[in-house]
């Protein structure tokens, strides 16, 4: 079956990426997540994976004062690090820098890899569809340049935080260090 083959290839690709990241970065946390997707979202991800655009990346950026750059997507209540989907043939680092530039209009220098989120993508309505694998790389970074500005039509707000915001999009955002508050 085609989807079974794609599921196997996606798991192998994620394993290859993790091995490559381990060779290039000293230490990072591996975070396992299961995402139960609507049939439409599963199909969109299946198509992306089949086209070679699997995965995503973001950056945990600090400025000289130790504040952390977070964004809030249109329609979301919680804050998260800027990031998004990787394009086909794009490195995780390039995707992370591009997403920061697109979402917050700033440039970041990547200084390390903080987390590798290994995702199991499943169709919430059809348990017979094979689980696909994906990877999100969350890098550490430093502000390099640019005037903070949220991307119109996608990002509701972009702000520097000295401490954890009250509402975050996912738990790791609350658990990571906020150097300005230490």
End-to-end CA distance of the chain: 53
Query: What domains appear along the chain, each with residue ranges and CATH number?
Result: 2-181 (3.90.79.10)
The mean per-residue pLDDT over the stretch 173-181 comes to: 93
Yes or no: say if 110 and 21 are a contact pair by the CB < 8 Å rule: no
Q: Give the SS3 label for residue 117.
A: strand
Q: Give the SS3 label for residue 32.
A: strand
What pLDDT is recorded for position 182? 79
pTM across the whole model:
0.94
What pLDDT is recorded for position 181? 87
Yes or no: say if 91 and 99 are a contact pair by the CB < 8 Å rule: no
pLDDT tens for 4-20 read 899 999 999 999 999 99
Tell me the residue length of the chain.
Answer: 182
Record the tokens describing residue 144, joined without a space: 């390099």
Record the tokens describing residue 6, joined without a space: 């794609």
């Amino acid at each position: 079956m085609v989807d079974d083959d794609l599921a196997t290839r996606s798991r192998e690709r994620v394993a290859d990426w993790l091995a490559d990241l381990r060779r290039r970065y000293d230490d990072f946390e591996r975070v396992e997540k299961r995402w139960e997707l609507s049939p439409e979202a599963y199909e969109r991800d299946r198509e992306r994976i089949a086209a070679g655009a699997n995965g995503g990346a973001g950056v945990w950026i600090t400025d000289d004062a130790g504040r952390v750059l977070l964004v809030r997507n249109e329609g979301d209540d919680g804050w998260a690090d800027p990031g998004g989907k990787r394009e086909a043939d794009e490195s995780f680092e390039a995707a992370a820098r591009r997403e920061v530039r697109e979402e917050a209009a700033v440039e970041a220098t990547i200084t390390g890899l903080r987390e590798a989120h290994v995702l199991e993508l499943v169709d919430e309505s059809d348990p017979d569809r094979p689980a696909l694998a994906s990877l999100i790389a969350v890098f550490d970074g430093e502000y390099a340049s640019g005037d903070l500005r949220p991307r119109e039509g996608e990002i509701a707000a972009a702000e520097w935080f000295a401490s954890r915001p009250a509402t975050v999009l996912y738990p790791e955002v609350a658990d990571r260090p906020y150097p300005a508050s230490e």
